[in-house]
């Protein structure tokens, strides 16, 4: 195996360890030593691949956003209509493998660093733009172009808001409750006659069923553990 491949694998392992450290200890409590302990390597090995905590933080942002992107792509494989593709985006953002109290708290901790880290700003802006673009691409099947853009912005903001709320509250915000909040917003923002409402319900049920199988599978979990865009 080429050294570049080994280096890529090692960086992926360390990024995963850093992600786990932030979830377990919070951003302030995450140190290079603790990342090394989780990865089973010395602090020197961590420093060899990431010169400081800031660069490791950047890798964590890439990893967390990469996991979300992979989830959307996976669910897209099974979506056959604009309704189902829209719900693939929603369910991917809130499926309980990533939308749980500990991960949401870690995400809030990470987001607090965005104003102070230009590289993390760039990554987060790109992620937000991608999510909004994905939403707009599907919503344009239901609304005129200008209205589709506005609706996509509102839904994108709501997604962020639900994540922040889940990360700040002491009580757990369930995946089902978050998705139901999105369903309420969709029914208010998009055409919602009886037929549309039923189509959205059917699409949500199908995608949630697919997610419970696909995103929970060992094959997908192994795939996402290797995701990194460093």
Question: pLDDT digits over 42-54, tens only?
Answer: 888 888 888 777 7
Confidence band of 176 (pLDDT split at 50, 70, 90): very high
Q: Over 80: is that where the pLDDT of 166 sits?
A: yes
Question: In this structure, are residues 159 and 183 in contact, taking their beta carbons and an 8 Å threshold?
Answer: no
Tell me which residue of 102, 34, 77 sits closest to 223, measured CA to CA: 77
Q: How far from chain centre, in Å, is Cα 206?
A: 20
Average pLDDT, stretch 147-161? 95
Average pLDDT, stretch 92-107? 85
pLDDT at 205: 97
Confidence band of 226 (pLDDT split at 50, 70, 90): very low
**Helix/strand/coil for 169:** coil
10 Å Cβ neighbour count for 164? 14
Question: In this structure, are residues 138 and 86 in contact, taking their beta carbons and an 8 Å threshold?
Answer: yes
Higher pLDDT, 39 or 157: 157
Return mean pLDDT, the chain.
85
Q: Over 80: is that where the pLDDT of 225 sits?
A: no
pLDDT at 198: 95
Average pLDDT, stretch 91-96? 92
Average pLDDT, stretch 87-104? 89
Q: Over 90: is that where the pLDDT of 183 sits?
A: yes
Per 3-state DSSP, the chain is made up of helix, strand and coil in percentages (nearest 5) of 80, 0, 20
Confidence band of 229 (pLDDT split at 50, 70, 90): very low
Question: In this structure, are residues 99 and 93 in contact, taking their beta carbons and an 8 Å threshold?
Answer: yes
Q: How far apart are the first and last CA of the chain?
A: 19
């Amino acid at each position: 195996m080429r050294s570049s491949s080994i280096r890529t694998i090692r960086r992926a392992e360390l990024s995963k360890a850093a992600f786990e450290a932030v979830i377990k200890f919070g951003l302030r409590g995450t140190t290079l030593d603790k990342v090394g302990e989780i990865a089973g390597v010395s602090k020197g090995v961590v420093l060899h691949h990431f010169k400081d905590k800031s660069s490791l933080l950047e890798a964590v942002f890439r990893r967390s956003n990469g996991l979300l992107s992979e989830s959307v792509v996976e669910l897209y494989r099974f979506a056959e209509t604009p309704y189902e593709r829209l719900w693939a985006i929603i369910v991917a953002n809130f499926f309980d493998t990533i939308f749980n109290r500990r991960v949401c708290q870690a995400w809030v901790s990470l987001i607090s660093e965005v104003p102070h880290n230009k590289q993390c700003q760039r990554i987060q802006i790109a992620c937000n733009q991608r999510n909004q673009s994905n939403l707009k691409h599907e919503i344009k099947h239901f609304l005129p172009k200008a209205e589709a853009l506005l609706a996509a912005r509102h839904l994108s903001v709501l997604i962020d808001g639900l994540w922040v709320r889940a990360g700040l509250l002491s009580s757990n915000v369930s995946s089902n409750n978050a998705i139901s909040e999105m369903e309420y917003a969709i029914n208010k923002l998009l055409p919602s006659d009886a037929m549309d409402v039923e189509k959205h319900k059917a699409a949500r049920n199908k995608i949630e069923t697919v997610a419970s199988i696909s995103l929970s599978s060992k094959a997908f979990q192994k795939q996402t553990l290797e995701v990194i865009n460093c």
